[in-house]
Amino acid sequence: MLSRFPDSFPFRLPQSRQGRVALALTVVYIVWGSTYLAVHVALGSFPPLMLSGLRNLFAGIGLFVFATRRRPAWPTAEEVRNAGLVGTMLVGLSSGMLAYGMRTVGTGTAAVMVATVPLFATVIAAVAGRRIGRGEWIAVGLGLVGIGILSHGDASANSADGSLAILCGALFWAGGAHLAGRLKLPSDLFLSTSLQIGLGGAMSTIVAWASGERMLDLHFPPIVAFLYLMLVGTMAAYVAYGYLIRHTSPIIASSCMYVNPVVAVALGALLLGESVTRSTVIATAVILASVGLSFWFDYRRRGLA
């Protein structure tokens, strides 16, 4: 992730800090919300693990080339290893399980399930020894209720398997984020991000190939969706998110957890004809409320409220 925007964009960036924050928020809100639709389309030609692997591998290579042009401090072997471990969880396993689950789960439902990442992060922190307050456990419990409502809306075996895969992807993301805060990573955030994405994508590609995944017949819409995921959904969005992490509060940077599911549900309904059932609406509200509580109690715990 970056601490600032690169200077070589093909368009003129806002000059004020407020303008750049607004631009970054727009990117992570709309782009990450739309990636669920793009994954759905790309799965028409790419098997799930291969899609995740190649998308992130190529994006990581592109970011790495850009990072090295800035002449950052070169990472040690330990830092590269740690970046690979974090990237395997954040990118390889998380994105791969998401794509696998979305073969049978709708885009909006998948986005709502991914919004449970902060809840899994709370559980992981508890296992790691951090004292979790009663309010945070209430947030986790409320999130589980939302997942139950969402799962009840489609009880087919294929959907249940896909939902489990997506929830495992959310768990891997939370676990990778936990490790990223504790392992020594390359000091340059842009270089660190490129290594995490690239090495995680490489691991996913190797596993996909070893497990027998092969490319399907290539069609134009899936190819366009793949390029969008690689160039916009990964490279551009990570730059924007990195800027938010360094220049805004964690609450603002993490607010995409609220907006992305709404964008995904809307795009799925408008462009794919996915039905928005009462269970989906109720579950979305319950899960987003639980995520909001999780952020709020963490905010208070760190003395920021």
Render each residue's pLDDT in the chain as its tens digit; 305 residues: 444 555 554 556 666 777 888 888 889 889 999 999 999 999 999 999 999 999 999 999 999 998 888 888 899 999 999 999 988 998 889 888 999 899 888 888 888 888 888 888 888 888 888 787 788 788 888 888 888 887 666 555 557 888 899 999 999 988 888 888 788 888 887 888 899 999 999 999 999 999 888 887 889 999 999 999 999 999 888 878 877 877 776 567 777 877 888 888 889 888 888 877 888 888 888 888 887 887 787 767 666 55
Interval 167-185: pLDDT, tens: 999 999 888 888 887 888 8
End-to-end CA distance of the chain: 26
Torsion (CA) 73, 53, 222, 98 in degrees, nearest 10? -110
8 in a domain, yes or no?
no
Tokens 């998308």 sit at which residue? Answer: 55
The verdict on residue 84 lying in a domain is yes
Q: Is 2 helix (H, G, I), strand (E, B) or coil?
A: coil
Structural domain for 277, as ranges: 17-301
**DSSP labels for 140-175?**
HHHHHHHHHHHHHT---HHHHHHHHHHHHHHHHHHH
Quote the number of domains for the chain: 1
Is residue 35 domain-resident? yes
The whole-number pLDDT of residue 305 equals 52
Q: How many helices, marked H, and strands, marked E, lie in the chain?
A: 14, 0
Q: Are 234 and 56 in contact (CB under 8 A)?
A: yes
Tell me, yes or no, whether 2 lies in a domain.
no
* Residue 3 within a domain: no
Residue 7 lies in a domain: no
Helices 278-301 and 117-127 cross at an angle (nearest 10°) of 40
φ, ψ (nearest 5 deg) of residue 254: -90, 0
**One-letter identity of residue 224:** V
pLDDT in tens, 93-134: 988 899 989 988 888 888 888 888 888 888 888 888 878 778
**pTM, full prediction:** 0.81
Crossing angle for the helix pair 48-69 and 189-210, to the nearest 10 degrees = 150
Q: Let me know: does 112 contact 261? Beta carbons within 8 Å.
A: yes
CA 228 → CA 13, 91, 214, 222, distances in Å?
Answer: 21, 17, 21, 10
Task: Return the sign of the alpha-carbon dihedral for residues 43, 44, 47, 52.
Answer: negative
Q: d(Cα 256, Cα 21) in Å, to the nearest integer?
A: 13
Query: What residue type is assigned to position 103 of the chain?
Result: R
